[in-house]
Chains A and B, each alone.
Chain A
Amino acid sequence: MNAKLRRLLSWEGLLLAIFVLVAAVNANLAPAYLSLNNQINLFQLSIEKIIVALVMTFIIINGEIDLSVASVMGLAACIVAVLFDRGAPMELAIVVALLAGALCGAFNGFWVAYVGLPSLAVTLAGMIGFRGVARILIEDRSIGGFPAWFTALGQQPLLGPFPLSLILFALLFALALVVLQYSGVGRLVYVIGHNAAVARYSGVDVPRLKLGLFIASGLVAALAGVLLAARLGAVRGNTADGFELDIITMVLLGGVSIFGGTGNLAGVGLSILVILNLRNGMSLLNVTGNVQTGVVGMLLILSVLLPNLAQMARERWQRRAVQRKEVQTGVETSVSS
């Protein structure tokens, strides 16, 4: 089998095929689907999630998980809103929110990297706790009425037809691609995810890298939270609630192993396209948000289950073939003797 064909049969090839299928069905369902506006809108509706999915890719390849991202998004949005409400200038509020996000990430990273606690437990605590801090700040209010330039940044096109968040996503995607796939740091992310003990004995500063990744995760999540506040124009205590499910789904569907060490950004990029287009298509068909989430959940399970089942079937088939051969050779030897 030549390399090109193997590439096509890989996980990314499968995702590409699904994406083409979804796009073709969507284009048939609604002619408006292919318009540039709909394409931009389709990204714009989930732009905050896909920005966070980029850094989540690093975390999961590194063998950890960050369940607290949605709460950090909510907290950053609440900080911006509450500071603005108290009369602080918007620029200062944004900076404070970003710093708070980095601090949340550093907090998670400290316990995971330097104390050695499981990231699942630490970020679960963070998920509840950071959301709790957001609720302390905003209580049951809904804060809106941001300056016009702020909401315009979230909702209006900035360069040509592209809004700021989409441009940021493109830049971050390029940056993440270079760092993860083409830099030394990226190699270390894979090495640690594959076998942290080997990395440590090879002289890699594992805790520092893990801490750095969690800080990046908090910072990017806070940025996404600020963008979400700008796009929605109002912030409440439950802003971004439950986003972690979608974000983690995007990464895992992209072929990144939950046990770390494997996966790449090309796959995650394709899985983002698949999920966004699938949701867009279902919206065109007037399927409600809950059903969409359920379908994405099904896709998540199937994306791991189907390859597993195929693998098991192949193993069983091979074992049977080997057994048959053994029986035959056994018969032959008994005849010859």
Chain B
Amino acid sequence: MHTWRQRIRPEQIRELSLIGLIVIALLIFGWQIENFLSARTFNRITSSVAIVGMVAIGQTLVVLTRNIDLSVGSIVGFTAYFVGSQLAANPGLPPVAAIVLAVLTGGALGLVNGLIVAYGRVPAIITTLGTLAIYRMLLINYANARTITVDSLPSWVVELSRQTLFAIGDFAVRPLFAITIAAMVVFQFVLAYTVFGRRLYAIGSNPEAARFAGLPAQRTVLAAFVLCGMLAGMAGFLFLARFGNITAVAGQGIELESVAAVVVGGVNTFGGSGTVLGALLGAFLIDLLGQGLLRWLGISEFWRDALLGLLILLAVASDSVILGWLRRVWAAPALRAEVSNER
């Protein structure tokens, strides 16, 4: 009896419903807009999701522990500029070294956040609001009003955003998107099956209980921030590869886009539930609706932010209302059994 209830948790329905929403949006846009389901649209959405999605994966790790990282936009900008200028100065730098440099730079900035939050006991929102400004200040001083241009970069970097890794029909998968998908798969596995991953959930859903159970809360939160920084650093490299021209304002606003993706993707802002797959689907849905609605309704680019704000609100509201309802439905048989036992 009710075995399907034991196999599927309410939280998993959320991911299924996201996929459902994406499919419905694709069907409507494909039906209403001429040439919407084309390789061009796919390419446009995947290359933008590659960057925001990579940041959103890191953001998920942090949000799961009931924290938030608002400095990721500055980390993306700083790494993109820093790695770009290193590549411009030493064009012979091998690709692996450039990627490692980006990840380490991001990780170092994330380490600072993590130390202050986990060991200095400063609330994450205060810490990362501060480092958001501080990292940007470092970047502006470092950049000194210079711009990194496509011409100054080695050709392999810029090629990354144009190459086709493999194609399914007309739909070409670019390396940037593939890297983000790979990161998502790895972290989906880490969160579901490793001790570290389960600790993130435990600490986020009940910090007190996690501490009493003897979990190394400080170390785990620190690790979440370091990983978030590393992923933001990786996103910085993707940013460099995609745009090529980098100024000191690069990556501004990505922190909000990543939080939006995480929230729409069903990660609870109070920690403890959600997945990186959900966050990536959230990023995908936001971009799809952004692209589709603008073309369908024939409205200007200026509507984008207003729609995004509305979408985030709807996601949070429906998440809270629907999930509460689903949990009651799931809990009902157990409750009924308990009541009949007592009788």
B170: Cβ under 8 A from any A Cβ:
no
Q: Are A132 and B138 in contact (CB under 8 A)?
A: no
* A291–B134 alpha-carbon span in the complex (Å): 8
Q: Does A122 contact B (CB under 8 A)?
A: yes
The smallest beta-carbon distance between B99 and chain A, in angstroms, is: 28
Q: How far is the CB of A241 from chain B (nearest CB, A)?
A: 10
Q: A126 an interface residue at 8 Å Cβ cutoff? A: yes
Q: Are B302 and A135 in contact (CB under 8 A)?
A: yes
Q: Is A129's CB under 8 angstroms from B306's CB?
A: yes
Judge whether A293 is part of the interface by a CB distance below 8 angstroms: yes
Write out, one digit per residue, whether chain A residues 252-288 have a CB within 8 A of any chain B CB (1) or not (0): 1000001100000000000000000000000000001
Contact with A along B302-341 (1 / 0, CB 8 A): 1111111110110011001100000000000000000000
Q: Given A124-B256, A245-B129, A252-B126, does the pair A117, B320 have CB atoms closer than 8 Å?
A: yes
Assign chain A's interface to a size class. Answer: 35 or more
Q: With A258-B126, A297-B133, A309-B120 known to touch, is A117 a contact of B306 (CB < 8 Å)? A: no
Among residues of A, the one whose C-beta sits closest to the C-beta of B141 is A291
- Counting CB contacts under 8 A, is B199 at the interface? no
Measured between beta carbons, the chain A residues less than 8 angstroms from B136 are: 290, 293-294
Residue of A nearest to B122 (CB): A304
Residue A133, interface by CB 8 Å: yes
Q: Is A121 an interface residue (CB 8 A)?
A: yes
Per the bound structure, the CA–CA distance linking A56 and B316 in Å amounts to 23
B125 interfacial contact with A, CB 8 Å: yes
The reply to whether A115 and B317 form a contact with Cβ atoms under 8 Å apart is yes
Instruction: Determine the distance from Cα of A117 to Cα of B130 in the docked complex, in whole angstroms.
Output: 25
The smallest beta-carbon distance between B48 and chain A, in angstroms, is: 16
Which chain B residue has the least Cβ–Cβ distance from A131?
B305
Bound together, the chains give a CA A309 to CA B119 distance in angstroms of: 9
**B270 in contact (CB, < 8 A):** yes
Closest B-chain residue to A245, C-beta based? Answer: B129
User: Taking each of A132, A237, A301, which has the highest tally of chain B beta carbons within 10 Å of its own beta carbon?
Assistant: A301
Residues of A within 8 A of B303 (CB): 132, 136
Asked if A128 meets B302 with Cβ closer than 8 Å, knowing A117-B317, A294-B133, A301-B126, the reply is: no
Known: A133-B306, A139-B300, A308-B120. A118 touches B129 (CB 8 A): no
> Contacts A121-B269, A122-B313, A304-B126 given: A132-B305 contact, CB under 8 Å?
yes
Residues of A within 8 A of B317 (CB): 111, 115, 117
Shortest C-beta distance, A22 to chain B (Å), equals 19
Which residues of A have CB within 8 Å of B306? Answer: 129, 132-133, 135-136
For the complex, what is the distance from the CA of A129 to the CA of B126, rounded to whole Å? 23
A73 to B116, CA, bound (A): 32
Interface residue? A153 (CB, 8 A) = no
Known A111-B317, A122-B313; contact A132-B130, beta-carbon cutoff 8 A: no
Is B123 an interface residue when CB atoms closer than 8 A count as contact? Answer: yes
B44 within 8 A of A: no
Closest chain A residue, CB of each to CB of B314? A125
Residues of chain B with a CB closer than 8 A to A125's CB: 309-310, 312-313, 316
The answer to whether A128 touches B126, judged by C-beta atoms less than 8 angstroms apart, is: no
**Inter-subunit contact A121/B308 (CB<8 Å):** no
Q: Is B123 in contact with A121, judged by CB distance below 8 angstroms?
A: no
- CB of A139, distance to nearest CB on chain B (Å): 5
Q: Does A305 lie within 8 Å of B122, measured CB to CB?
A: yes
A168 proximal to B (CB < 8 A): no
Contact among B131, B260, B302 for A139, CB-based, below 8 A:
B302
Whether A293 touches B313, Cβ cut-off 8 Å, given contacts A121-B263, A133-B306, is no
Q: Which residue of A lies closest to B125 (CB)?
A: A258
Tell which of B121, B138, B269, B313 touches A111, judged by Cβ atoms closer than 8 Å. B313
- Nearest to B252 among chain A residues (CB) is A242
For residue B19, CB closer than 8 A to chain A, the reply is no
User: Which residues on the A side are within 8 Å of B123 (C-beta)?
Assistant: 258-259, 304
Q: How far is the CA of A237 from the CA of B303 in the complex (A)?
A: 12
Q: Closest approach, in angstroms, between the C-beta of A125 and any C-beta of chain B?
A: 4
Asked, given contacts A128-B305, A129-B310, A136-B303, whether A301 binds B127 with beta carbons under 8 Å apart, the answer is yes
Q: Name the interface residues of A279-322: CB closer than 8 Å to any CB of B.
A: 288, 290-291, 293-298, 300-301, 304-305, 308-309, 312
B259 contacts the other chain (CB 8 A):
yes
B180 to chain A, nearest CB (A): 23
In the assembled complex, the CB of B274 is this many whole angstroms from the nearest CB of chain A, namely 13
A127: interface (CB < 8 Å): yes
A120 at the interface (CB under 8 A from B): yes
Q: How far is the CA of A135 from the CA of B308 in the complex (A)?
A: 13
Complex-state Cα separation, A107 to B190, whole angstroms: 39
Q: Is A249 an interface residue (CB 8 A)?
A: yes
- Picked from A132, A258, A295, A312, the residue with its CB within 8 Å of the CB of B309 is A132
Complex: chain A residue closest to B303, CB-CB: A136
By a CB distance below 8 angstroms, the chain B residues around A297 are 129-134, 137
Q: Which residues of B contact A259 (CB under 8 A)?
A: 123
Indicate if A58 sits at the interface (CB-CB under 8 A): no
Min CB distance A308 to B, Å, is: 5
Bound CA–CA A118/B259 (angstroms) = 14
Judge whether B140 is part of the interface by a CB distance below 8 angstroms.
yes
Are A301 and B309 within 8 A (Cβ)? no
> Contact: B125 with A300, CB < 8 Å?
no
- A117-B316, A121-B316, A294-B133 known; A305 and B309 CB under 8 Å? no
What are the 7 tightest A-B residue pairs by CB atom distance, in nearest-first order?
A: A129-B309, A294-B137, A132-B306, A132-B305, A297-B133, A297-B130, A125-B313
- A-B residue pairs in contact (CB < 8 Å), sample of 22: A118-B316, A122-B313, A122-B316, A125-B310, A125-B312, A131-B305, A132-B308, A135-B306, A139-B300, A245-B133, A248-B129, A249-B130, A252-B126, A259-B123, A291-B140, A298-B130, A300-B126, A301-B126, A304-B126, A305-B120, A305-B122, A308-B120
In the complex, given contacts A291-B137, A297-B133, what are 13 additional A-B residue pairs having Cβ atoms less than 8 angstroms apart? A116-B320, A117-B317, A120-B68, A125-B309, A128-B260, A129-B305, A132-B306, A136-B306, A296-B133, A297-B130, A301-B122, A301-B127, A301-B134
